[in-house]
Amino acid sequence: MLDTSYRTAYNDDHEAFRDTVRKVFAEHMTPYLDQHEEEGIVPRSAWKALGEAGMLCPTVKEENGGLGLDFGFNCVLCEELSYLGSSAGFTLQNDITANYIERLGTEEQRAKYLPGMVSGDVISAIAMTEPGAGSDLQGIRTTAIKDGNHLVVNGSKTYITNGQNADVVIVVAKTDPAQGAKGTSLVLVDAGTEGFERGRNLDKIGQHSADTSELFFNDVRVPMTNILGGEGRGFIHLMEELPQERLGIAVGAQAAAQRAFDEAVKFTKDRKAFGKTVFEFQNTKFVLADLKAKIQVGWAHLDWAIRKHLAGELTTDEASAAKLWHTDLQWEACDMALQLHGGAGYMNEYAIARLWRDARVTRIFGGTNEIMKEVISRSI
């Protein structure tokens, strides 16, 4: 269990919410973690349970069916989910897609999607990445070309979180390909629309409980009113959301690093070798001491970043730096913790194996850590 007694980013309301999150997870998530991993998806019943407990999209305003809370509540859920060791796509809906729809959506769009996203009846996804365009969002090839009062969407997307479950997808597409990035728009596509097809649930190294999918758009006709935000302003809208998206990744990474450390401490104090516990060897103590120091610094930095974001002051380069540093720490903690488990760490029955597998992608998604360095360097 995460020790939050020393945290500075949260107040009593946040911690009361954390208690609710832990209780709901204990009933609806923890007993089914292995099942979610095996099936490659978190069932809609879990989404409904979280929705009924007020844990989905907590920042959505009351007039749109939500609770109107601050982003700190999202961070609390993200920490607990990551510490639990689940890769469920709740945080994508909480931290990213709900914000897009509430901030950019028309009154009709908000009314259509947000109440269901809060209740768990509507699951959302955002389709950016393509087979030929990863971190370079300006290079996307999916098009949404005007035809009368409609747009005709063609293209394919890959690595899409919530892809199998999604009821609505925010598709990044070129409405005016000749304009490059300035011709990019965000387009809402509902599940069941003719020509919209889901590909396979992708076979990943880790994060097996996340339904990460391929999506295909073959002459998908949607009304012009399905544009989210300004036409041709899609790339700008994406950039506007980067600080919150990357902070969310940092939050999850830090919690996962803590869980990996805790697993290593527990295992080494219990496991014996050469007549004493593995923990008693100097190398073990020094490795754990080094990790503890870095994790301590990590929590302090994370609280700084959360407070700055709540004040509306976290910049893109600061959020990118947080994403870079905390995901690097996550990998170091998970890799060293697995090493301290010895051969047991390579067995899937131990939590550290899942934590290690799931950690590998966090230095890739949300913009690779190499791109993070490029972004940070531009601010120097």
Active site members: 245
For the record, the structure tokens of 65 come out as 């069916």
8 Å CB contact between 198 and 147:
no
Cβ atoms < 10 Å from Cβ of 167: 17
Report which DSSP code applies to 149: T
For the record, the structure tokens of 222 come out as 């949607």
8 Å CB contact between 244 and 91:
no
Cβ atoms < 10 Å from Cβ of 74: 26
Alpha-carbon torsion (36, 78, 289, 3), positive or negative: negative
How long a stretch of residues is the chain? Answer: 380
Report which DSSP code applies to 123: -
Q: How far is CA 16 from CA 19, 30, 177, in A?
A: 5, 20, 49
Of the candidates 75, 66, 60, which has an alpha carbon nearest to the alpha carbon of residue 17?
Answer: 75
**E strand or H helix at 124, and its extent?**
strand 124-127
Reduced to 3 states (helix: H, G, I; strand: E, B; else coil), residue 285 is helix
8 Å CB contact between 172 and 127:
yes
8 Å CB contact between 198 and 213:
yes
Report the greatest alpha carbon distance in the chain: 79
8 Å CB contact between 151 and 145:
yes
Alpha-carbon torsion (171, 174, 175, 179), positive or negative: positive
For the record, the structure tokens of 368 come out as 């690779």
Burial class (CB in 10 A: 0-12, 13-18, 19+), 21: buried
Give residue 132's Cα distance to chain centre. Answer: 22
